[in-house]
Amino acid sequence: MGQRFITIWFRHLKTDWHINRRRELASIPFVLAIQDYGRMVISATNIEAEKRGISAGMAVADARAMVPSLEVQDDSPDLAVRLLRKWAEWCIRYTPFVCIDGEDGLILDITGCAHLWDGERPYLKEIITRIRAMGYDARGAIASTIGTAWAVSRYGTITPIIEPGNELTAIAPLPPASLRLNSIIIEKLHKLGLSEVGSFMTIQRPALRRRFGTELLLRLDQASGMQQEIVIPVFLPEQYFERLPCLEPIRTRTGIEIAVQRLLEALCQRLQAEGKGLRKAILKGYRIDGEIIQACIGTNRPSHHIKHLFHLFEPEIGKLCPELGIELFILEAPIVEDAISRQEAFWNAATGSPGDVKVAELLDRITSRLGADAIHRYLPDQHHWPERSVCTASSLEEQGTITWPEDRLRPILLLSSPELIQVTAPIPDYPPMLFIYRGKVHRISKADGPERIEREWWQEQGDHRDYYRVEDEQGKRYWVFRSGHYSDDQQPDWFIHGFFA
């Protein structure tokens, strides 16, 4: 079976949005207007305004002369884009491929989806009925080409579902505007008396090209299926994802847990077959009120262990609010990596052991409860400057390019930025006798140093540092340094940079 598309036309998208916010606007003529060369021009109307003969493009002054009670509000330039993006997100419950069409429409690629609703007719009826129930005036059509579906949704009067092969027959009685032509070509066609697509559809192509250019032929070919039309979905589906539609809305924790279990089984089975494991998973629940709720988990190493991943989702499930019910679940894995099989890891000490898997899963559970910033793993980096000498590892498998230095003692806790302290030193280049840190006096009983660390001149300029390992009277040890030299006119600053065990 070939491709099938739905186009949805929101006839009064922006005014319907305003009416949903202010119900009294539904029964009075209401328009939105924009500033155009110093005058107010109507950009959108509601049904009541159309009945009074008011249309987009008219000057507000002329419209008010016709209807003195006309309600006028300023139009927001980006309102249509924001509304269509919301509707595109809502339509993902019906198909993962949803595209925005201009300022008043959507295009849905429904290939292989309609059977879930027992056919295309109930499928289309479900979508349009629910959109209208939310207060929006919408029309839709299904066809094998975007051009035909677009034309029928806006200008068709007989049936909204066009069977494959009947595209030209469906568009033949429609006006030239149904082909998405520019206004100049439409005007030329009307002047020649070609008021229907069928009146010029059979004219020889060279004659049409000479008179109207290539756009008319392109639109005819797109509508008939001779020319493929490429559209880009608003939300590109992840390579690894699973969908689970629900026959009845899910409102209980037990129901959500069953859905998560089924989604994980399907996704992990695929990942395992391809030698992959997920590092991040997002569960999305599409509620019947149009809202989308979601929960996210992460792992320290690629995993397709269903039981472990389900345990990570368990605390997040309790935070989800199903309200009136969830009708669709989607599980996405945006970050997927190659997974090392347990047997290979068992014989290779460099890559880990089965015990490493349990450690990784323990870290995952701790992270899911305490937050992603609760646990970090660091690797040595090729820098002399202490702040740059370590880097954060992205996973348990990541290995450093160098080994940890063993010839120089370093504190177990290194501050990300040194903090200023007040120091009393007997003479220059000697360790401090005492220092004051956060209002507390620390008297030094033992000290070792200095260890001079020069700045990396190829990255920045500045003074060197002389580091000392000091121990106070309570036995606590610190890593402090002096920035630069003593001089006659300037006293160098002292800083604390780390804490030893």
* In the block, residue with structure tokens 């559809």: 201
Q: Which helix (H) or strand (E) holds 108?
A: strand 105-109
pLDDT score at 340: 65
DSSP symbol at 260 = H
From CA 107, how far away is CA 99, in angstroms rounded?
5
The contacts of residue 214 (CB under 8 Å, 6+ apart) are none
Tokens at residue 95, please? 């198909």
Tokens at residue 21, please? 């916010």
Cα 254 from chain centre: 28
Which has the closest alpha carbon to 7: 216, 196, 284, 223?
Answer: 223
Question: Which amino acid is present at 307?
Answer: K
DSSP symbol at 488 = S
Both ends of the chain: CA-CA distance in Å?
Answer: 69
SS (H, E, C) 146-168: HHHHHHHHHHCCCCCECCCCCHH
pLDDT score at 501: 78
Q: How far is CA 306 from CA 78, 193, 274, 319, 479, in A?
A: 43, 67, 15, 21, 46
Q: How far is CA 290 from CA 89, 91, 123, 322, in A?
A: 9, 9, 17, 11
Looking at the DSSP bridge assignments, the partners of residue 49 are: none
Within 13 Å and on the Cβ side, how many CA atoms surround 155?
Answer: 17
Q: Are strands 30-36 and 276-287 parallel, antiparallel or unpaired?
A: unpaired
pLDDT score at 221: 94
Tokens at residue 357, please? 């898997």
Q: How far is CA 419 from CA 124, 167, 385, 422, 470, in A?
A: 65, 74, 16, 10, 16
Q: Is the peptide bond before 450 cis (omega within 30 degrees of 0)?
A: yes
Can you list the alpha helix ranges (DSSP code H) found in 107-213? 120-133, 146-155, 167-171, 183-191, 198-201, 205-212
Q: How far is CA 364 from CA 313, 375, 386, in A?
A: 11, 9, 29
Q: Which helix (H) or strand (E) holds 30?
A: strand 30-36
pLDDT score at 236: 81
Sheet with 39-45, side-by-side order of all strands: 39-45, 30-36, 71-74
Residue 52: what are its φ and ψ, rounded to 5°? Answer: -90, 5
Residue 427: what are its φ and ψ, rounded to 5°? Answer: -145, 160
Which has the closest alpha carbon to 477: 451, 450, 447?
Answer: 447
From CA 254, how far away is CA 485, in angstroms rounded?
68
pLDDT score at 348: 44
Q: Are strands 276-287 and 39-45 parallel, antiparallel or unpaired?
A: unpaired
Q: Is 385 exposed, middle or buried (0-12, 13-18, 19+ CB in 10 A)?
A: middle
Cβ atoms 436, 472 nearer than 8 A: no
DSSP symbol at 387 = G
Cβ atoms 6, 141 nearer than 8 A: yes
pLDDT score at 458: 82
Cβ atoms 17, 135 nearer than 8 A: no
Tokens at residue 264, please? 């994980």
Within 13 Å and on the Cβ side, how many CA atoms surround 355?
Answer: 3
pLDDT score at 349: 43
Looking at the DSSP bridge assignments, the partners of residue 335 are: 280
From CA 3, how far away is CA 394, in angstroms rounded?
41
pLDDT score at 372: 67
pLDDT score at 135: 92
Question: Which amino acid is present at 262?
Answer: R
Q: What domains can you pick out in the chain, each with its CATH number? A: 5-153 (3.40.1170.60), 241-368 (3.30.1490.100), 413-499 (no CATH)
Which residues of the chain are modeled with pLDDT < 70?
1, 340-356, 372-373, 395-397
Tokens at residue 328, please? 């669709």
pLDDT score at 343: 44
Q: How far is CA 211 from CA 184, 214, 310, in A?
A: 12, 9, 65
Cβ atoms 463, 487 nearer than 8 A: no
